[in-house]
Amino acid sequence: MAIVASIGIVAIVAWQAAREALKVRYPRQVLIAQWSPAVWGLAVTLLAVSGSAGILPDPVARIGVMSAMVIATVALVLAPVYLLWRSHAERALNAGYAGGGLVILAAFAAAYAILLRAAGEPHAGVHWVAILLMSWPVLILLLGGAVAPWALNRVRHT
């Protein structure tokens, strides 16, 4: 837990630094990126409430909520991969660091899946989407760590 907490603190600091660095060069895009999770959360909440209140048929609301979850999870998985690749392509990171970031991403995903299975989580063996949905905190931390070199490189080369 101490290792995970220290990685979390580093990722949060990196995310804050990247956000401030990107705000200088891309103020409108950063504003959109900051408000997107809130709008997404509101949409998912409204879908869930409308399904439980009977405004929408329950299967439609469930499909809407699960689709939104899967889309967000795929974005959280692909964003660090893309950012590490772009950082390597722009020579902000060498191949070793970019590859190390991808290995860390894969290691966290595997460790989280193993922990879910060991804890007896009912969704652990059902489907890979369930594992990814439950690993959002780790994915968000890894996104913060991957966006920092890319963002600082963008600001440095303006």
- What tokens does 106 get? 């894969």
Report how many domains make up the chain.
1
Beta strands in 47-156 (DSSP E): none
Block residue for tokens 């809130």: 38
pLDDT in tens, 66-125: 888 778 877 877 888 888 888 888 887 788 887 887 887 777 777 766 766 776 655 544
Assign 53 to helix, strand or coil.
Answer: helix
* Furthest CA-CA distance within the chain: 54
Burial tier of 23 (Cβ tally within 10 Å: 0-12, 13-18, 19+): middle
- The model carries a pTM of 0.65
pLDDT in tens, 35-78: 888 888 899 899 889 988 889 898 888 888 888 877 887 787 78
Domain, as residue range, for 128? 2-156
Per-residue model confidence (pLDDT) at position 112: 67
Distance CA 15, CA 69 (A): 22
CA angle 150-155-158, nearest 5°?
125
